[in-house]
């Protein structure tokens, strides 16, 4: 079965712009989580959506937001981009209950200039 798909793979944006990243989970998965990966901070949890509701949230400013659609696909939006937002953004999906493992996508590489 198809894995977690993230689009686009690469993005280049300018400071002050906004960006939307997309994540299509594995069929049947209802939970989608987002992470930011940078060389300095490593992997940091952004937020998790489960059945169209934000269930958990990390310590990121309000410029980072997301949503989940009825088909479990999720989008993440970053407004007023800063240079420090340059990172690999990873999405992961799971059934979201019990001990179901997360399945990660290959990420979207965002570069802010």
Binding residues for another protein, rule: CB under 8 A, are 3-4, 31, 33, 35, 42-45, 48, 50, 55-56, 58, 90, 92, 94-107
Q: Are 96 and 31 in contact (CB under 8 A)?
A: yes
Shortest separation between residue 97's beta carbon and another protein, angstroms: 6
Closer CB to another protein, 18 or 41, in the complex: 41
Q: How far is CA 44 from CA 16, 34, 50, 83, 87, in A?
A: 22, 9, 19, 17, 11
Shortest separation between residue 96's beta carbon and another protein, angstroms: 4
For 83, the 3-state DSSP assignment is helix
Closer CB to another protein, 58 or 75, in the complex: 58
Structure tokens at 33: 């989580």
Shortest separation between residue 5's beta carbon and another protein, angstroms: 11
């Amino acid at each position: 079965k198809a894995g977690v798909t993230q689009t686009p793979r690469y993005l280049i944006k300018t400071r002050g712009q906004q960006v939307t990243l997309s994540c299509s989970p594995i069929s049947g998965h209802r939970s989608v989580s987002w992470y930011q990966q940078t060389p300095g901070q490593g992997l940091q949890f952004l937020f998790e959506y489960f059945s169209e509701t934000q269930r958990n949230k990390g310590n990121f400013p309000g410029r980072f937001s997301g949503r989940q659609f009825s088909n479990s696909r999720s989008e993440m939006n970053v407004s007023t981009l800063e240079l420090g937002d340059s990172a690999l953004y990873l999405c992961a999906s799971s059934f979201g209950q019990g001990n179901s493992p997360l399945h990660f996508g290959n990420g979207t590489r965002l570069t802010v200039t």
